[in-house]
Structure 1
Amino acid sequence: MRLTDVTRRLAGLGGAKWTVYQKARDQVAEGHRIIDMTIGEPDVATPSGLIDAVTDAMKQGRTGYSSGRGERGLRDALAARYARRTGQPISSDQILCFPGTQTALYAVLMGVAEAGCEVLVGDPMYATYEGVIRAAGADMVPVPLRPENGFRIVAEDIEARITPRSSAILLTSPHNPTGAVLTPDDIAAIGRIAIKHDLWIVSDEVYEDLIFDGVEFASPLSVPELADRVIVVSSISKSHAAPGFRSGWSVGPVAFTNALLPLSESMLFGNQPFIADMTEQAIRQGSEVAPGMRRRFADRAGRLHDRLSRDSALKVHRPQAGMFALVDVAATGMNGNDYALHLLEQEQVAVMPGASFGSSLDTWVRVALTVNDVDFDTACDRIVAHAEQFLEQTA
């Protein structure tokens, strides 16, 4: 059987990272009561107004072919939103619409990197980043995100790893899995490096609407000096509790967007018009569910931190945004993968091994903050009880 290089480059980067999640799903299918804290599903249903919008659009015949760029109404809505948010002129010609952030990332990375290139990305990172970089033929260059710096990427650490092959910096803020949020000073320093070394900045901002109180959001798209080298990707998956609709976009320089259009059209030639209409309404009206998610996720992160810090030797990194918290399980003597499997087997609580997001999290696990409060508190009780046996062994 003859296969292409891309299949070899991506070998082992798909479902292999989700072994614990799959085991938990299998146990649920067998009738076991598992508290699943692996995946970042919003904890509310998609708003009924958006469901009505998409069904009304279908009834009105919005089921034909669409523009390869994305429907004009949606692109206009996105342009207005980003112009308001950044204070910079943003036109609809700067926007391409895709089925979700993941597809947008894939297309954008194909546009800024290729064989012989390197893409710098913080380690830990979202689990699919290595795949989209390798798919383009480029090499991923991990930049360590240090707990002592709140897991925020440091400009000097980026610059220390730049080579003549470097083509892009892939940022995530708010960050998955750490929940870190880059500051305006962080962005400015990274921007200076990108200009100095003529690098693209690809900024994944899918968690922008889930920043906790007291934290300021900053985007390189807001910096005029970076206008010709920044590409933002995002979607309504998290902000509007609509992950299954797969509706995302990219925002970048007009010249880049025009150059990427043929690739986008080769992939899918436009997203569904009825979903575009729903997304336009979502963007113009804002999210009715994001404020509640922010409050609940921040509260659960605080409860997890306080409970585990008080009653176990596990260490919790409190996020500034998003749907997850990280827990350092080194005190158990296990790495994150063994710990997650052991916790699932003994306590029926499923969490993600940190190593699924990069080697720097080998002794950590990622805990989703998206389960209901009763199950969340039960899971905290079980995690504490599970950890007690390791404390007894070392006493």
Structure 2
Amino acid sequence: MRYADITRRLAGLGGAKWDVHIKAKALRAQGHDILELTIGEPDVPTPKALMDVASAAMQAGRTGYSDGRGEPGLRAALSERYSQRTGRPISANQVMCFPGTQTALFSVMMGIADTGCEVLVGDPMYATYEGVIRASGADMVPVPLRPENGFRLAADDLAARITPRTRAILLTTPHNPTGSILTASDIDAIGELALAHDLWIISDEVYEDLIFDGETFTSPLSRDELSDRVIVVSSISKSHAAPGFRSGWCIGPEAFTETLLPLSETMLFGNQPFIADMTEKAVGDGSDVAHDMCTRFAARARHLEHRLTQGCDLKVHTPQAGMFAMIDVSSTGLNGNDYALHLLEHAHVAVMPGTSFGSTLDNWVRVALTIDDDAFDTACTRIIQHATQLQLETA
């Protein structure tokens, strides 16, 4: 039987990147004592106040068809939030609501890129970015994020890869997997390139509310001169510990949202009204859990760096935001993928190979900061013992 070209473009981009995580789940189901540091699940449940809103809305009959752009109340709440953040009016007509950031990003990419286009994206990147770019028919052009630059996207590296086929720059700030944050100067330099070459800027800002103390976040949406070319995607999955509710959005120019609407309506025609009501409260009230999550994640990142620096030769890149830290495992003589499999087999700790997020991280692994402190400390001990044993075996 024959299949559409999109299935060929996406072949190999599914579960293969999560092989270590899947193996860890299987071992744990068999009764093995596996410490999972793979997936970025919030370490607290969804707040009861939000679930109560969703439940009450369902009981009140908010279960019918919805507005294809998003429910009016939620769009108004997002309009107010982004107007306050940017200091300029962001109308409700600039807002479109989706079931999660992933759906928003897929729709945005399908709306702006075609076969023959190129999309520039930092390498490493979130694991699904290659898929959403290739789904549109466009080619992904990785731009190395250099450890010596704090894994921040450098405008010079971008400029070297711009061609007449380039259509967009895909940013993640704060960044997954590295936890880096683009500075205001970074944004200005990237914006100048976008203006000079007439490029879209898509900014994934799902970790905006998980910025560690002392750090500063800047969005390209705040730059007036970029207002006609910036599209922001985000959700309540991380900020409000609500990943399973799948509630996200995009913010862009009115001409963009108007153009994207038929695509969005063809794909899903709105999301669930009762979840929209819950999200409206989340956006309007802010997060009751984000600050404490930030405090815990930052503390665990510092603890990881301290333990590994004192106990072995592994090097930790300390994040500025988010749920993850990166470990350089090159001192073991193994690449990141082989190290992650060896660590799982011999130390029963599951981490993500860096190559799940791009070729730049061949010698790195990503560690989730989302298990409780005692379990996290045990994981640190196992990682140190494992590294010591590897060093003895190769001496």
TM-score, reference length from structure 1:
0.99
Query: Is 1:20 aligned to 2:1, yes or no?
Result: no
For 2:264, the aligned partner's letter is S
CA deviations over 1:141-175 (Å, ceiling 9, x no partner): 00000000000000111011000000000000000
Residue of structure 1 equivalent to 2:98:
98
DSSP 3-state at the match of 1:340: helix
Residue of structure 1 equivalent to 2:335:
335
Residue of structure 1 equivalent to 2:129:
129
Q: Distance in 2 between matches of 1:12 and 1:326?
A: 24
For 2:95, the aligned partner's letter is I
Residue of structure 1 equivalent to 2:48:
48
For 1:294, the aligned partner's letter is C
Q: Distance in 1 between matches of 2:194 and 2:306?
A: 39
Range 109-118 or range 25-34, more displaced: 25-34
Residue of structure 2 equivalent to 1:314:
314
DSSP 3-state at the match of 1:33: coil
DSSP 3-state at the match of 2:370: coil
DSSP 3-state at the match of 1:208: coil
Q: Distance in 1 between matches of 2:195 and 2:202?
A: 14
DSSP 3-state at the match of 1:281: helix
Q: Distance in 2 between matches of 1:340 and 1:176?
A: 18
Residue of structure 1 equivalent to 2:195:
195
Range 36-45 or range 305-314, more displaced: 305-314
Residue of structure 1 equivalent to 2:369:
369
The answer for unaligned runs of 5 or more in structure 1 is: none
For 2:356, the aligned partner's letter is S
Query: Is 1:32 aligned to 2:29, yes or no?
Result: no
Residue of structure 2 equivalent to 1:163:
163
DSSP 3-state at the match of 1:234: strand
Residue of structure 1 equivalent to 2:357:
357
Q: Distance in 2 between matches of 1:272 and 1:152?
A: 36
Residue of structure 1 equivalent to 2:261:
261
DSSP 3-state at the match of 2:209: helix
CA deviations over 1:314-342 (Å, ceiling 9, x no partner): 01000000000000111111111111111
For 2:310, the aligned partner's letter is R
Report how far residue 393 of structure 1 moved: 3.3
Report how far residue 309 of structure 1 moved: 1.0
For 2:160, the aligned partner's letter is A
For 2:71, the aligned partner's letter is E
For 2:259, the aligned partner's letter is A
Q: Distance in 2 between matches of 1:92 and 1:161?
A: 35
Report how far residue 350 of structure 1 moved: 0.4
Query: Is 1:149 aligned to 2:187, yes or no?
Result: no
Residue of structure 2 equivalent to 1:77:
77
Q: Distance in 2 between matches of 1:394 and 1:21?
A: 27
After superposition, residues 158-237 of structure 1 pair within 5 angstroms as 158-237=158-237
CA deviations over 1:231-275 (Å, ceiling 9, x no partner): 000000000000000000000000000000000001100000000
Report how far residue 112 of structure 1 moved: 1.2
For 1:64, the aligned partner's letter is G
Range 310-319 or range 25-34, more displaced: 25-34
Report how far residue 394 of structure 1 moved: 4.4
CA deviations over 1:166-195 (Å, ceiling 9, x no partner): 000000000000000001110011000000
Residue of structure 2 equivalent to 1:287:
287
For 1:251, the aligned partner's letter is I
Q: Distance in 2 between matches of 1:393 and 1:4?
A: 50
Residue of structure 2 equivalent to 1:68:
68
CA deviations over 1:187-225 (Å, ceiling 9, x no partner): 011000000000000000000000001111000000000
For 1:202, the aligned partner's letter is I
Q: Distance in 2 between matches of 1:390 and 1:379?
A: 16
Q: Distance in 2 between matches of 1:394 and 1:135?
A: 44
RMSD: 0.6
Q: Distance in 2 between matches of 1:375 and 1:19?
A: 22
Residue of structure 2 equivalent to 1:380:
380
Q: How many aligned positions are there?
A: 395
Q: Distance in 2 between matches of 1:379 and 1:389?
A: 15
Q: Distance in 2 between matches of 1:204 and 1:361?
A: 20
TM-score, reference length from structure 2:
0.99
Report how far residue 390 of structure 1 moved: 2.2
Q: Distance in 2 between matches of 1:114 and 1:180?
A: 30
Q: Distance in 1 between matches of 2:183 and 2:46?
A: 31
Q: Distance in 2 between matches of 1:129 and 1:53?
A: 32
CA deviations over 1:102-129 (Å, ceiling 9, x no partner): 0000000011111010000000000000
